[in-house]
């Protein structure tokens, strides 16, 4: 028998209330721990890219640039802070959408609610909610994709498939790593009884909507003609107004040498690194609950288990084999999927708890006390992770840039690795400070050079040696014209140049 309209209305209201509580609990905490301004790593480059509507590092993230531009019109804080707020907004949106998704899958509101809270205040996700980054907008879109698929699973209505097709295309314009989840989505759509032979006629309209969703990538071609301050097409000599050039950007070919870049003997160690990330992110207990949830979901819905494991494995396998250091947050899609398993584990635990109570093995009062443990664990997670992730007093990058900008001699060059260089670029381009300085981003230059030599088939050690040689020659040439500063000490450069401590950096001099 179908539920009455009154029951449906009441169910929707309680869902809405739970969602509101999620948003009102997470967003203020994110705001309280938010970074007060510019942050290093990719964050500073993205902030500069949004401000200039530039061409940031591949895959270009056009949707982030466009949405980010809207957030720059907020009437408070600097550009970086406004984009930090954007991350917090999308983190809370992720929590709400994930809650609706998990409840559709496991049909347990309290378990879904607790699992999402644990994810929302987990270490790596919380970190990305506090700085300008693509990750929380990406997780919000992925959660939206999963929500539409879960609605298709429950109701079998065509409108959910069409909406999913468009949204998934949009998701890829935030970050193309979402393509890793495509096989899982395909399985979840095709494995239901709703997908009958007559449904195959929907493939055409779904594909058209998917392609329309990809349209923000055309924005990169438009901006390429303008030559903005941040322009990776110029750095790599690629014409983004051509189909081949745009594909180069979208497919991230500049970093293709990182893909499956480890030797086989190194892969087990990288996998154990991921396990340690997962364990830390869910404080151990969440991992155990997730394993229980996998077993529980396998009995309740093998189709969902297969699809979710496929999504989880695709993200893990790819990034375990991706040869970069800062990849703990690149597993966010896997952490998000694990939240579904955690909810399943809580459902299983609740089932056993009720059975023990019914059989008289557990007193009712003790049963109620045990049922509050998830909430206590969430509070513990908030308390522990707050100390680890709180960035509200993270002013080190601003102080560093301020001193470097004020102390550097006119028309000098500052040589810096990625995280330092992009912060200096932010203050120069966005804040308009010291336009006379030349900021030499070693990491960006060396990566572009590595790609150039790698395409020529050179061996890794040969490439590194060649890059070192060319970099020394380049700096030697600039030294004849400018005062040179180096933010970080480098033993290779120290063989050619003398490092003289000066403030927060070194003045370089010929030996």
Domain boundaries, the chain: 5-389, 396-510
Q: In the structure encoding, which two tokens stand for residue 64, read together?
A: 């982030």
For position 2, what pLDDT does the model report? 42
C-alpha angle 353-356-362 in degrees, rounded to nearest 5 = 95
The alpha helices in 413-481, defined as continuous H runs, are: 418-429, 442-455, 460-479
**Euclidean distance between CA atoms 344 and 350, whole angstroms:** 10
Q: What is the CA 494 to chain-centroid distance, rounded?
A: 36
Give the pLDDT confidence of 1-34 residue by residue, as tens digits. 445 455 555 678 888 888 999 999 999 999 999 9
Provide the pLDDT for residue 358: 60
Q: Give backbone dihedrals phi and psi of 325, rounded to 5 degrees, phi first.
A: -90, -40
22 C-beta neighbours (distance < 10 Å), count: 22
pTM of the model: 0.94
- Those residues of the chain that have pLDDT short of 50 are 1-2, 4
User: In which residue are the tokens 């497919």 written?
Assistant: 251
Tens of pLDDT, residues 367-396: 565 667 788 888 889 999 999 999 999 999
Is residue 167 a contact partner of residue 145, using CB atoms and an 8 Å limit?
yes
Q: What is the SS3 assignment for 153-188?
A: HHHCCHHHHHHHHHHHHHHHHHCHHHHHHHHHHHHH
């Amino acid at each position: 028998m179908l539920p009455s309209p009154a029951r449906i209305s009441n169910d929707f209201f309680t869902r809405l209330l739970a969602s509101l509580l999620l948003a009102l609990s997470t967003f203020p905490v994110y705001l309280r721990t938010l970074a007060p301004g510019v942050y290093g790593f990719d964050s500073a480059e993205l902030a500069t890219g949004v401000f200039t509507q530039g061409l940031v590092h591949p895959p270009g993230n056009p949707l982030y640039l466009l949405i980010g531009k809207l957030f720059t019109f907020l009437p408070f804080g600097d550009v970086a802070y406004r984009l930090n707020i954007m991350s917090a907004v999308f983190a809370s949106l992720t929590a709400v959408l994930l809650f609706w998704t998990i409840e559709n899958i496991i049909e347990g509101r309290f378990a879904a609610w607790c699992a999402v809270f644990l994810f929302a205040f987990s270490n790596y996700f919380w970190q990305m909610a506090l700085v300008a980054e693509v990750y929380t907008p990406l997780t919000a879109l992925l959660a939206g994709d999963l929500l539409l698929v879960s609605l298709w699973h429950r109701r079998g209505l065509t409108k959910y498939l069409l909406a999913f097709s468009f949204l998934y295309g949009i998701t890829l314009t935030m970050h193309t790593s979402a393509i890793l989840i495509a096989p899982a989505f395909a399985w979840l759509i095709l494995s239901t009884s709703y997908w009958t032979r007559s449904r195959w006629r929907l493939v055409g309209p779904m594909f058209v909507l998917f392609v329309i969703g990809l349209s923000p990538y055309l924005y990169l071609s438009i901006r390429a003609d303008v030559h903005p301050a941040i322009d990776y097409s110029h750095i790599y000599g690629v014409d983004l107004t051509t189909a081949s050039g745009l594909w180069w950007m979208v497919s991230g070919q500049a970093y293709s040498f990182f893909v499956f870049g480890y030797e086989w003997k190194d892969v087990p160690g990288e996998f154990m690194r991921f396990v340690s990330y997962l364990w830390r992110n869910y404080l151990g207990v969440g991992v155990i609950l997730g394993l229980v949830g996998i077993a529980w979901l396998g009995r309740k819905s093998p189709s969902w288990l297969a699809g979710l494991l496929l999504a989880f494995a695709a993200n893990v396998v790819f990034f375990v084999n991706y040869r970069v250091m800062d990849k703990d947050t690149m597993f966010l899609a896997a952490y998000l999927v694990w939240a579904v398993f955690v909810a399943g584990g809580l459902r299983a635990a609740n089932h056993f708890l009720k059975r023990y109570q019914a059989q008289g093995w557990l007193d009712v009062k003790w049963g109620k006390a045990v049922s509050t443990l998830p909430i206590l664990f969430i509070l513990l997670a908030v308390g522990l992770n707050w100390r680890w992730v709180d960035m509200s007093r993270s002013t080190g990058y601003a102080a560093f840039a301020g001193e470097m900008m004020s102390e550097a001699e006119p028309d000098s060059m500052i040589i810096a690795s990625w995280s330092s260089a992009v912060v200096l670029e932010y203050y120069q381009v966005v804040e308009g400070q010291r336009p006379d300085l030349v900021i030499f981003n070693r990491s960006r230059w060396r990566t572009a050079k590595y790609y150039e030599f790698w395409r020529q088939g050179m061996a890794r050690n040969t490439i590194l040696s060649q890059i070192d040689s060319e970099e020394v020659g380049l700096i030697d040439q600039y030294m004849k014209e400018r005062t040179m500063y180096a933010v970080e000490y480098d033993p290779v450069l120290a063989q050619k140049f003398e490092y003289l401590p000066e403030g927060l950096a070194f003045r370089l001099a010929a030996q």
